[in-house]
């Protein structure tokens, strides 16, 4: 089955700086890689995703890159703001049971003013 590893577990950045979170996956057949943001006491919110047929996707200050050969994908947040403080999770589908997601352990991002 799929194994997703996420690094770092915590990330502290100054407001305005960039944050990068990296994930690796094990199943080469995986074709869809979502990122979720979870604020305290709330459910995970889908913020961006990438399909396996593209290498990069951007949405305003966030971007995701995918390297299928190396089986890793990354979330990039530019010009960080205090409201970006949250836990971020990457995920990948478990391809032997279509639709289930295997999540990384999460990255606690703290943006300090």
Partner 1 sequence: DTGVSQDPRHKITKRGQNVTFRCDPISEHNRLYWYRQTLGQGPEFLTYFQNEAQLEKSRLLSDRFSAERPKGSFSTLEIQRTEQGDSAMYLCASSLIASTRFYNEQFFGPGTRLTVL
Among 64, 104, 109, 111, binds partner 1 (CB under 8 A): 104
Select 5 or 17, whichever has its Cβ closest to partner 1: 5
Q: Is 109 in the site for partner 1 (CB under 8 A)?
A: no
For the sheet containing 72-77, what is the strand order?
4-7, 19-25, 72-77, 62-67, 56-59
Select 11 or 78, whichever has its Cβ closest to partner 1: 11
- The stretch near partner 1 (CB under 8 A) out of 12-20, 62-70, 76-84, 95-103 is 95-103
**Residues from 22 through 51 that contact partner 1 (CB under 8 A):** 31-32, 34, 36, 41-46, 49, 51
**CA 98, CA 43: separation in Å to the nearest integer?**
22
State the CB neighbour count (10 A cutoff) for residue 43: 7
Q: Is 61 in the site for partner 1 (CB under 8 A)?
A: no
């Amino acid at each position: 089955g799929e194994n997703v590893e996420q690094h770092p577990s915590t990330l502290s950045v100054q407001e305005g700086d960039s944050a990068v979170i990296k994930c690796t996956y094990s199943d080469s057949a995986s074709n869809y890689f979502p990122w979720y943001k979870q604020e305290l006491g709330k459910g995970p919110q889908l913020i961006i995703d990438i399909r396996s047929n593209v290498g990069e996707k951007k949405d305003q200050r966030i971007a995701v890159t995918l390297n299928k050969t190396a089986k890793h994908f990354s979330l990039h947040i530019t010009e960080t703001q205090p409201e970006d403080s949250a836990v971020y999770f990457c995920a990948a589908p478990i391809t032997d049971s279509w639709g289930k997601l295997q999540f990384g352990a999460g990255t606690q991002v703290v943006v300090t003013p």
